[in-house]
Structure 1
C-alpha cells in the first residue's frame, strides 16, 4: 500500500454522481442501451438523469438476478428472491423506456437496432452491455445440453437453482467437483468463494463430503487468504488441483459424473463445470469483438475501438487491469454515461472514477474486503493502487467485513436499480 486506506478507496460506497447538462429545446438525443444487467441498468439510469436524453433499455427478461452474493444462496444463507430486481424504478424515477425484447442485429451505418420481435430502434449513441457467453466444446462432452446435468451456474437464475438442488440432494460423503475456466472470466474470486461456501454448507449438513477444484490455472486471486481460510474452517475438506498437476480438464461424462483430466478421472457426485467465456452474443453480431473474443474500448469513454458511436461496458469490455466484476461494470457505465452526455448535450464531463470494491465470503461470518483504484494510462486502464485482505487477520476484522458486506450490497443494488 502507498498510504491508501479502506475509507479513501471507498469500500461500501456505491454512488458516483453525474452533473446534469442543460436541457435543449429540440427533440432529445436518443440513446439505446442493450442489456439489463449491472452495466446496462447503471448506464440507462445515469444517462437518463437530468432528462436531457431519450433513453431506451432493451432487455428480454423482466427481472435480473445478481451473480453478486449468489454463492450465499448456494450456501443456504440468502434466498434467490433477495438477489432479484426489476426495472420499474428506472422508468418511474428516471423515465427510462424498457423494451422487453432481444436485440438480434445492429446496423452501425444507419444507427439502428433490430429486435427479435420485428421492431427496430434508431439511436444517436448505443451502449452494449451483453455480459458473457460460453465457449462450449473445449471440454469434450460439455456443451449447452450438458448444463442440465453439470450446471455452470455462472449466470444467476435457473442454473443457480439447479446447482443448489444438486448440492441439497447430494449424499453425505459425496464429492463436489468445481471446474474453473481459463482467464479472463467473470468474477475472478468467484469459483473459490463458491468452494468456501459449499464447504460451509457441507460442514453443517454433510460433514463427510469433499470438494475438489480442478483449476485451469496454476494460481488464483488471493490464494493465500483462501487457503488460510480453508485450513481454519474446513480442514481436509477442500482440495485444490492446479493445471500443472492435472494437465487440465479434457472431458466430462454425464449422467455418470466423470470428469477427466489429462492424468486422471474423478467421479463427481455433483459437478459444477464453468466453461471458457467470451463477450455476449450481440457483441459478436455487431462486430465489436477482436480475436480474443472481447471488446476493445477507449479507456476514457468506453467507446468501441472497432465501431465508433457504440460503447461497451461490463464483462464484455477489454478494460485493461479492471477485473470482470459487477462493481467494475457499474463504474464503467457511469464513466460511459458521462462521456455520452457530454458528447450529445454539452453536459460537464464528470471526473473519471474507476475503482473496484468487493467482498468475498470464506464462511458465513468471515469475509474478505478488497479494493482497487484504476486510471487510464497509455491508452489502457492500469491499476494504480489497491487494498487487499491479508492472511491471518483477526476474526473480529473478518466478522466486521461480513457485516459491512450486507450494507455494501444494499447500497450497490439501489445505485443500479433504484
Structure 2
C-alpha cells in the first residue's frame, strides 16, 4: 500500500494520533472548525471556546442566522408552543465566547490539507474538524417522492418553513379529510418524533375537524413508546388514528404528490395532507468529507472521533455510534465528550471518562407527557446503554403533567446550554 498523509492518519491509532497532534498544528493558536450549528455543533463550539479560555481559535459554519429546533416543533404543530420560541440566534456564541460564526454552506473538506471550503469561496484551515450536519434524505426511499415534492407533501423533519407549511395544511384540511403520515424506517432522527407528531395533529383535528382521520403508513413492525402512544390515542382520540404496519402494506407505499394520493400495497387512496418522512442518512457534507460508511459516519465510542480520520469528530444524528438514539439531547451529550477530547488534543488538558445520556419527552395530549431515556458508556466497539427508564401505561394525571412540565424546563435549559 502506498502511504500518503491521509492513509497514514486513517490507519494510525487514535491514542497515538492524539498525543502527536500538537506537533502538526498550524501556526499560532490551534484551529477548530465546526460544521453545523445545531445541538451538537453549537454545543461543541461553545464548550471548546469556553473551557479553553481563548487558547483555541473556534469557527462555526452554519448557513442559517436563526436556528429552529426540530425538538419541540411538534408542540408548535399542536398549538402548545409558539414558533418564535423554536428559533435561536448565534449572537451570544460570537459576542460572549469569541466564536467566529460564518453563515455559509460548507461544500468541501480536504482532509489531507486540513481545510474546509464554503460556498462563498472561503477556505478555512483546521487542526481538528467537527462535523455535525444533522440528516439528509435517501433518494428514492419513498417511491414518487423527492425533495421537489416537499411543498405539496412536506417532510417537516428539518424545522423551519417546512414545519410552518405542515401546520398550515393541517389547520386548513377539509372537513372530514384524511391526514396521512409515511413513517421512516430505522434508523432516523428522533425515534418517538413521528408518533408525537401524530398526537399533536390529532389534538388539532379533534378541536377543529373532529370527523377527520389520521393514517400512519409504517415500514417498521414496532416503534418507540408504542404502548404509551396507543394508550394515549385511545384515551384522547379514540377512532381517529389508524396505524398500518408492514404486515398490511406499510412497507409497500408509493405517493403521488400531483394527485394527492397514496398507494398502499397496490390500493390507491386519496388523502388531503400527506407528511412524508423518508429514510435518512448523514448530512451531505459528511459524505463529501469521506467519513461515512455509505449512510452514516462511524465513530469511536470513547470520544466521537471518526474511525476514518482521527482529526475529525462526528456528532449527533450523522454519527454511527451504537445504542444512543438520534436526538438533540444525544447530540448535546456527545458534543461535550468531543469538546473535552479536542481540547486535550490541542492543549494537553485532561481527558475525562466519557459519559453519555439522553431523554426523549413526548406530549400525547394536554398535560399528558411521557418520556424514555438512558445513560450510556463506551463499550469495546460502540456506545452501550448501562441503565434506562420509560413512562408506564396507567400513570396518574399529576405525574403526566409533571413530566410535561419537566420537558419545558429541559428545553429552556438545553437551548441555553447550546446557544449560550
TM-score, scaled to structure 1: 0.92
Counting only pairs closer than 5 Å after superposition, residues 372-411 of structure 1 correspond to structure 2 as 372-411=374-413
Q: Say whether the 8 Å CA contact 1:180–1:273 is kept in structure 2.
A: yes
Change (3 A) 1:247 1:198: closer
Per the normalisation by structure 2, the TM-score is 0.91
1:44 and 1:55 in contact (8 A); partners too: yes
Match for residue 316 of structure 1? 318
Match of 1:31 in 2: 32
Render the CA deviation track for 1:368-411: whole Å, top value 9, x for unaligned. 12220111111211111101001111111101111121111100
Deviation at 1:263? 4.4
* 8 Å CA contact 1:56, 1:96 repeated in 2: yes
Q: Residues of 2 paired with 1:355 and 1:140: CA distance?
A: 36
Partner residue, 1:235:
238
Shift of 1:134: 0.5
After the TM superposition, which residues 52-201 of structure 1 pair with which residues of structure 2 at under 5 Å, given as runs?
52-201=55-204
SS of 1:203's partner is helix
Q: How many correspondences in the alignment? A: 392
Measured in 1, the distance between the counterparts of 2:360 and 2:56 equals 31
Q: Distance in 2 between matches of 1:208 and 1:180?
A: 23
Gaps of 5+ in 1: 1-25
CA distance in 2, matches of 1:366, 1:346: 48
Give the drift of 1:168. 1.2
Larger displacement relative to structure 2 (241-250 or 332-341): 241-250
Query: Helix, strand or coil: the match of 1:148?
Result: coil
3-state secondary structure, aligned to 1:200: helix
- Kindly provide the CA deviation profile for residues 157-211 of structure 1, in whole angstroms up to 9, marking residues without a partner as x: 0111110110111022111001001100000000000001111111111111111
Match of 2:290, SS state, is coil
- Alpha-carbon distance between aligned partners in 2 of 1:263 and 1:229, rounded to the nearest angstrom: 31
Matches of 2:79 and 2:139, distance apart in 1: 29
**Aligned-partner Cα distance in 2 for 1:135–1:141:** 13
Superposed CA RMSD: 1.1
C-alpha distance in structure 1 between counterparts of 2:269 and 2:374, whole Å: 37
The equivalent residue for 1:224 is 227
- The structure showing larger relative contact order (alpha-carbon pairs under 8 Å, at least 6 residues apart) is 1
Q: CA deviation at 1:247?
A: 5.0
Matches within 5 A, 1:269-418: 269-291=272-294, 293-418=295-420
Secondary structure of the residue aligned to 1:154 is coil
Q: How far, CA to CA, are the matches of 2:97 and 2:352 in structure 1?
A: 19
CA distance in structure 1 between the partners assigned to 2:65 and 2:366 by the alignment? 31
CA distance in 2, matches of 1:371, 1:334: 18
Asked if 2 retains the 8 angstrom alpha-carbon contact of 1:213 and 1:239, the reply is yes
Q: CA deviation at 1:27?
A: 2.8
Note the C-alpha offset of 1:344: 0.8
- Secondary structure of the residue aligned to 1:130 is coil
Answer yes or no: is the 8 Å Cα contact 1:247–1:263 preserved in 2: no
Name the SS of the counterpart of 1:403 in structure 2.
Answer: helix
Aligned equivalents of 1:109, 1:95: Cα separation in 2: 27
Q: Who is 1:21 aligned against? A: none
Q: Residue 260 of structure 1 corresponds to which residue in structure 2? A: 263
Contact 1:304 1:311 in 2 (8 A): yes
Contact 2:171 2:208 in 1 (8 A): no
SS of 2:316's partner is coil
Paired position in structure 2 for 1:245: 248
Secondary structure, counterpart of 1:384 in structure 2: strand
Residue 80 of structure 1 deviates from its aligned partner by 1.4
Distance between the aligned counterparts of 2:133 and 2:259, measured in 1? 34
